[in-house]
Chains A and B, each alone.
Chain A
Amino acid sequence: MNAALQATLEFLKLYWAPLLCGVAVVAILPLIVGYIVLVERKIMADMQARLGPMRVGPHGLLQPIADAVKLLIKEDIIPENADKLVFWLAPVLSVGAGLLSLAGLAIGPAFQIAQDINIGILFVVGISALGIFGIVLGGWASNSHYSLMGALRSSAQLVSYETAAGMALVSALLFTGTLNIKSIVEAQSKEGIWFVLLAPVAFFTYLVASIAETNRAPFDLPEAESELVAGYMTEFSGFRWSLYFLAEYTNMIVVASVATTLFLGGWLRPFASVHGLPGVHWLNFLDFVPALLILAVGAYCVVRVPKQPTRVQQLFMLVVAGLCFAVALVLAAPVVLPVIKPSLREAVAPFYSGIHGGFWFIFKVSLYIYFFMWLRFTIPRYRFDQLMRLGWHFLIPLSIINVLLVGVALIVGAYFHLHGWGLLLVTTPAAILALVAAFLILALEKQHDARQEQTAASDFYAG
């Protein structure tokens, strides 16, 4: 008995920090997701000439909490003919996979729950892909045609697009030679250039594939509400449904983080290589941008205070402004202190990399997610066969050709001893070549399709 307690304590001593982080992620993530949804609704409203949620709290700021409460107290329905165990398990599986893959991600050099896994990126991608089991099982267990079709579409979509995404990741990984997430970012820091510039085609491929993988518009076929009601989620309601919802947004965060890590320099500031240099470089003004940005938001809140209709809202605005100022102070401290007192430079360095790394990482992830939302409100939905054609006839050939050409470019680059921005000399032609080749294949496919259609057209109405 005592030995078991001892062992548990030993275990906790070793792993208290990751465990705490895990608990924090599980506790905070639903809140973050809730607010991502609110932001999405606000952005959607802005693009659609309306206001969006305005009722719960000032400017609808408490809407996510109201939604969460509503979902929690809703009646929990399991259809009579559903496979109850699988129906219960499926959403848990989905959300579990999403949360687990967050563990591998590094938000800044200091924040990583599962520290230094040597197969980091593979772990994240692999685990997040497991979430598809939740969707397929959920669709199957609901015993409904719409759910089944949604689940089938989802699995077909994931299989096709995971290939393209994987190939895109490989193209970027060729530059680093490691799967460790920290090393990938450090490699970009060493080269002084983000891989999005070195492998633009791979980034584009990953961008498209990641939208398809997370079932977001215009690839949201598994849950296309105008066709399949809600796809695999049709029979789910209340808390189970919200688990699927949580999984979807967690997956969005995961793919955005993977893209940020691999292509957008992770937690690195733009032109991060200038930061460490002695002397004053004009690009170092970027160090002050985060603090100024948040400061501006806070100032805007203060300006808006007199315009709020009720006292509560005025107070709320002031609180928000105060929070902004506090965050701005935290962001400003590590960059302003060395300017005032140069001897402190060494002391604040870890704070700088931690705080500003976190800011830039979250900033890039937000931009990536914003792009997802922007697409969703702008363009219509693909049809299933078109989606498959885009995947198999264009993205997969493109990504495979790109891997080959990036490899060739790297060999040529090594031959000429090219580094950093110099690598662009070889990778840009490679990217252009890959695009040309992929479009050529697409054109050939189209010709082939047209010929086949001509022969098939005669007996189209025969059935």
Chain B
Amino acid sequence: MGADELVINMGPQHPSTHGVLRVKLKLDGERVIGSECIIGYLHRGVEKIAENRTYQQFAPYVDRMDYVAAVSSGLGYCEAVEKLLVVEAPPRARVIRTILTELQRIASHLLWLGTHALDIGALTPLFYCFREREEILKIFEKYCGARLTTHAFRIGGLQYEAYDTLEKDVERFCKDFESRIAEYESLLTQNRIWIGRTKGVGILTAEDAIAFGVTGPVLRASGVKWDIRKAAPYAAYDQYKFEIPVGTTGDTYDRYLVRMEEMRQSRLICLQAIENIPSGPILAKVGKVLKPPPGEVYHAIEAPKGEIGYYIVSDGTVMPYRVHIRPPSFINLQAFDRMVRGHLVADVVAIIGTIDIVLGEVDR
């Protein structure tokens, strides 16, 4: 073959673009010399919908963005509106929020690990991950009746009181989970092929990561110690001790290690939180009709995939004047082209997996 360029359309129907991402790849043989992400296949106009819904009505919509980490998106939105209303959720609600959000982080990372490993060709971790994720989803189901798009929180606190055995369920899960992480690691961490496929692949330097506005594990793997849970604590994170894992080189292997360690840390946070859940009300006095004073607010939390931020402008009516969402998947995806250049086709799927995108959130 000559040195002609080959343009391949990867997606929107492709087994490993994690939904409906379409990547236009310019190839020289098997080497990628350029790429372009074409998004929008799942665009639903979430931000526009917000302008025609009351504050409470919009809450379930944010669950449909990052549908594998709906609890985290919901927490960000509820806290943003609370900030606008200048109310605070009661301590009991905040602790339960923290527990559920950390469980959601573990669930989201598990899904990432399974699919990422599957993309690289390891079939088995996916099922091990789903086994544990199922336990978490069962806890969600017991708590609020839904497994995926939970709508677990309400503006001002929680709608549901924690069920009787919540602490016991979480404790049992956390107890089992430690050995389960070791099980995943035994399959991958020291595996020569896994290291060969991930080390040095998709390197993102700290400067590049900051310039692209990348957040979450992708940023931390590049060696930047930035986690909103520590930098601007929300919910009840200021009460708990946990470490922020950081990587050194910012390659796919580092991102893998960072996320694995994050799951361990989330487990520790859960264990600390269930030890002492304060009693008291679960919902602050917010009233039936929410009419925040005119003004604007930006509130961000550390979702499993990075910083999810809500910029809400209120004009004093029951409906927001404008809602802008800063989705971590969308912004992390911007670094994709920088990461794939010069790599092989096989690395493209590894890099899509390692950014950990959810197309519902990218396209909104």
Contacts and interface: CB of A to CB of B under 8 A. Distances in A.
* Chain A complexes with chain B: yes
A263 to B, nearest CB: 25
B197 A383 contact: yes
Given A48-B124, A379-B191, 14 more contacts: A48-B128, A145-B8, A146-B8, A149-B30, A226-B15, A227-B345, A379-B193, A380-B117, A380-B121, A380-B122, A381-B193, A383-B347, A384-B30, A386-B196
Contacts of B349: 226-227
Contacts of B188: 380
A224 B127 contact: no
B120 A380 contact: yes
Interface string A199-234: 000000000000000000110110011111100000
30 contacts: A48-B127, A49-B131, A50-B127, A149-B345, A217-B123, A218-B193, A224-B121, A224-B346, A226-B15, A226-B16, A226-B119, A227-B16, A227-B345, A227-B346, A377-B123, A378-B122, A378-B124, A379-B121, A379-B194, A380-B121, A380-B194, A381-B121, A381-B346, A382-B196, A382-B197, A383-B346, A384-B344, A386-B197, A460-B342, A461-B341
A276 interface: no
Contacts of B342: 460-461, 463
A221 B197 CA distance: 13
Interface in B186-227: 187-188, 191, 193-194, 196-197
Given A145-B6, A145-B8, A226-B118, A383 B14 contact: no
The 9 A-B pairs of least Cβ separation, nearest first, read A381-B121, A48-B127, A226-B16, A380-B122, A380-B121, A226-B119, A380-B120, A383-B346, A380-B193
Contacts of B42: none
A73 B14 CA distance: 25
B33 interface: yes
B128 A380 contact: no
Interface of B: 6, 8, 14-16, 30, 33, 117-124, 126-128, 131, 187-188, 191, 193-194, 196-197, 341-342, 344-349
A345 interface: no
Most chain B beta-carbon contacts within 10 A, residue among A44, A146, A383? A383
A346 interface: no
How would you classify the secondary structure of chain B's contact residues: helix, strand, loop or mixed? helix
A385 interface: yes
Contacts of B128: 48-49
B195 to A, nearest CB: 10
A229 B117 CA distance: 16
A136 to B, nearest CB: 14
A42 interface: no
Contacts of A47: 124
Interface residues of A, number: 32
A275 interface: no
Contacts of A381: 120-122, 193, 197, 346
Most chain B beta-carbon contacts within 10 A, residue among A217, A376, A380? A380
Contacts of A463: 33, 342
A419 B305 CA distance: 65
Interface string A377-405: 11111111110000000000000000000
Contact of A379 (B16, B33, B122): B122
Contacts of B348: 227
B226 to A, nearest CB: 25
Contacts of B196: 382-383, 386
Interface string A43-61: 0100111100000000000
Contact of A380 (B30, B33, B197, B347): B197
A461 B340 CA distance: 11
A178 B62 CA distance: 72
A227 B350 CA distance: 9
Contacts of B131: 49
Contacts of B120: 226, 380-381
A267 to B, nearest CB: 33
Interface string A38-81: 00000010011110000000000000000000000000000000
